Amino acid sequence: MLAAFLAIGLAPLLAIAQVDTDSVGPTTSYASKADNKICNVLDYGAVADNSTDIGPPISDAWDECKDGGVVYIPPGDYALNTWVDLTGGSSCAINLDGILYRTGTDGGNMIYIEHTTDFELLSSTSAGAVQGFGYVFHAEGSIDGPRILRLYEVEDFSVHDLILVDSPSFHFSMDTCSNGEVYNMIIRGGNEGGLDGIDIWSENTWIHDISVTNKDECVTVKSPAQNILVESIYCNWSGGCAMGSLADDTDISDITYRNIYTWSSNQMYMIKSNGGNGTVSNVLLENFIGHGNAYSLDIDQYWSSETTAAGDGVQLNNITINNWKGTEEDGAERGPIRVVCSDTAPCTDVTIEDFAMWTEEGDSQWYLCESAYGDGVCLESGDDYTSYTTTVTVTAAPSGYSAPTMAADLTSAFGTDSPIPIPTIPTSFYPGLTPYSSLASALPTSIYPV
C-alpha cells in the first residue's frame, strides 16, 4: 500500500484549480422571477404574530411559485413550529425579510431545500433571520436538535444576506450541491462543540464574506468536495476553519481558502483524520491572519477526537500554506505549526512559506512535523518517505509577524443557557478588504422587487 502512496508523491506538483466565479449562482435574475409571480406567505395563512405556525404557509407558497417565482416572507416576527421540506424547484427564489423564531421541537432540518435548480435564498433587506433558540437544548446538555438550513442536490444557486442564530445543531450544510455562491452572512452559535457554522461537501462553489461565531467549525469542507473557493471569512470566537473529519473513501481536491481572519478560536485551520483512506489533493491556504487562537496550522492524521477508521490513512498531496501572520495564544504549549501525518500515508508535496507568527504568552514556540515531506520549516525533503518526527523550537519572534485586528472582535463567547441576540451583517470580513458584493439592502429596489 505504501508504494501506491509513494507513486502519488512522485507525481509533478499540480496546479490548484480555481472556481470560475462567473459560473456560480442562479441563471435567472430575481427580478425576472418576481416579474413572473410573487407568492406572499401572508396570502397563504402566515401571520406575523410570533405565534401562528408559518411552516404550512411557506410550503403552500413554495408549491405555487417553485416553477418560476418568488416566495416572499415580509418583515415581521413569525413562529416556525413545523419544518419545511421544499423540493423540485426550478427558476425560483425565497426572499426572507422577516424573522423566523423556532417554536417546534422536532429533529432534522428546519429549512430543507432539495432537488432544485436556478435558486436563490436571500433577504432583500439584509435583515432576514432565523432564530433557532438552541440554548433551550444546550442548557440541558443536548445538541441533538434540528439544523437550521440544509441544501441537498441544489444546482446553480445562491444564499446571501441572511442571519442564522443559535441553531440547536449545525447552522448551514450544503450536501452534493454544485455551482453555488454563498455570501454576506453572519452566523452566531453557542460556545459548544457540534454547532457548526457552514459545512460543505459539494463542487464548484464560492463562499465569501461570512462571519461565524460558535465553538466548532467556522467554514469547513468535508468529503466529497471538488473545486471550492472560500475567502474573506471572519471566524470571530469560533472553532475555526477546517477540513474533515476525514475517514473512508475521502475524495477532496482543488480547494482554496484565502483571506481568512481568525480571532480567539480553536485553530486557524485544521485538517483532521484518524485512519481511513482516499485522497486530499491540491489545497491552497493563503493570506491567513490570526490572534489569540489555541492552534494555528494543525494537520493531524491521528486526531484523538475521532474514532480510528480502517485503512492506512488519507493521502494528503500538494498542500500549500502561504502568507500567515499574527499571534497564537501560547506557542510553548501549542506551537503554530503542527503537521502530523500518517506513517503509512505520509503527506507529500507540502509547502510552508512566508509563515510569520509569534506567541502571545512566553518567549518561545515550536514547530512539529511528522512523516510530512515538502519544503519549509521542519518538513523533510526528498522522496525517501520513511517515518520521522522533527520538532524545532524558536526563541525569537519572526520578522513581519505583526498583523491588524478587527474592530468587531468579540471579548467573550456566547453562552449556552440564554438567548443569543440577532446581530446585523458586518460590512468587513478581513482587514483592509471590501466585500465582493454590496449588501442587498444597499442595492436599488429594482434588483429585488417585492
Q: Which of 97, 156, 209, 216 is catalytic?
A: 216
Q: Determine whether 314 is exposed, middle or buried from the number of CB atoms within 10 Å of its CB (0-12, 13-18, 19+).
A: buried
Beta carbons within 8 Å of 94's beta carbon, 6+ residues apart? 62, 70, 71, 73, 86, 120, 121, 122
**Residues 6 or more apart whose Cβ sits within 8 Å of residue 364:** 331, 332, 393, 394, 395
Residue of 291, 298, 300, 349 marked catalytic: 291
Do the Cβ atoms of 81 and 55 come closer than 8 Å?
Answer: yes
Q: How far apart are CA 107 and CA 376, in angstroms?
A: 46
Give the three cell numbers for residue 162. Answer: 441572511
C-alpha–C-alpha distance, residues 373 and 355, integer Å:
17
- Give the Cα separation of 34 and 28 in Å (integer): 11
- The DSSP letter of residue 241 is E
Tell me how crowded residue 445 is: count the other CB atoms within 10 A of its CB.
Answer: 9
**What whole-number distance in Å separates Cα of residue 312 and Cα of residue 279?**
11
The enclosing H or E element of 164 equals: strand 163-165
Count CA within 13 A, CB hemisphere, residue 255. Answer: 31
Task: Return the amino acid letter for 183.
Answer: Y
Q: Kindly list the distances between the CA atom of residue 186 and the CA atoms of 32, 159, 198, 269, in Å, as whole numbers in the listed order.
A: 27, 12, 11, 19
Give Cβ neighbours of residue 443 (< 8 Å, ≥ 6 apart): none
Could you give phi then psi for residue 181, rounded to 5 degrees? -135, 130
Could you confirm whether 208 is annotated as catalytic? no
Using alpha carbons, select from 228, 269, 224, 270 the residue that is nearest to residue 248: 224
Active-site residue 171, yes or no? no
Quick check: 85 and 112 in contact, CB under 8 A? yes
Strands 389-394, 365-370: parallel, antiparallel or unpaired by DSSP?
antiparallel
Q: Is 178 left (phi over 0), alpha (psi -120 to 50) or beta?
A: beta
> Which residues are identified as catalytic?
216, 291
